[in-house]
Chain A
Amino acid sequence: LAKTTQPISMDSYEGQEVNITCSHNNIATNDYITWYQQFPSQGPRFIIQGYKTKVTNEVASLFIPADRKSSTLSLPRVSLSDTAVYYCLVGDNPYNQGGKLIFGQGTELSVKP
């Protein structure tokens, strides 16, 4: 099972770009990389998913190097409402044999005015 490592916490200011990196050295060939966002007292919600190179949507960008042993979630011009915990999840296909979807501890992002 691919284990992920993220910084426990990060601070930023409104309007800045925030980059959160996740390490996943033993990622498997079939594994996708997915990021989730969780606000207090709510369930996590999907942000972005990718397999390799770069993926961009209306919320964020995801950068994945060629070796896929890490990934970086990029949040452009954060606002106070982006204060949340961000989880990197690897191994997104539970149909693989033994494929359990295991979350790491996440990164607590605090955006200040």
Chain B
Amino acid sequence: NAGVTQTPKFQVLKTGQSMTLQCAQDMNHEYMSWYRQDPGMGLRLIHYSVGAGITDQGEVPNGYNVSRSTTEDFPLRLLSAAPSQTSVYFCASSTRDPHSGANVLTFGAGSRLTVL
């Protein structure tokens, strides 16, 4: 099925460990982004990309790195995990509607990360 695929769905890390959350989309969308969602809170933008080779910071970029070597993939890297990064992470992609110029985000199912 077409859409946004995130892996893993669940992950437990120890403080200081590193890991990569994977995000892949097969809709040929130019725009991809990562959000985190903490309990009882809305979505906060971490990083985003408007195309392959282009990335930029969102609201809460510290502690995270991204790269966009292909249109399909947008991995999120935690170099040294901290308990404050315990959260649910959502990847999203979108493309511009050729008629309206507007965008609609398609989200993945989420990756739940716990840092001990």
Residues on A lying within 8 angstroms of B by beta carbon are 30, 32, 34, 36, 41-46, 49, 51, 85, 87, 89, 92-95, 100-106
Contact = CB atoms under 8 A, between A and B. Distances in A.
B32 to A, nearest CB: 10
B74 interface: no
B33 interface: yes
Contacts, number: 72
Given A43-B90, A44-B107, A101-B33, A32 B100 contact: yes
Interface stretch (B13-21, B38-46, B63-71, B76-84): B38-46
B101 interface: yes
Interface of B: 4, 31, 33, 35, 41-45, 48, 50, 56, 58-59, 90, 92, 94, 96, 100-110
Given A42-B109, A45-B107, A93-B103, 19 more contacts: A30-B101, A36-B105, A41-B110, A43-B107, A44-B43, A44-B105, A46-B105, A49-B102, A87-B43, A92-B102, A93-B96, A93-B101, A93-B102, A94-B48, A95-B50, A100-B59, A101-B33, A105-B42, A106-B42
Contacts of B106: 46
Contact of B103 (A94, A103, A105): A94
Q: Is the interface of B mostly helix, strand, loop or mixed?
A: strand
Contact of B58 (A100, A104, A105): A100
Contacts of B108: 43
A2 to B, nearest CB: 14
A43 B112 CA distance: 12
B110 A102 contact: no
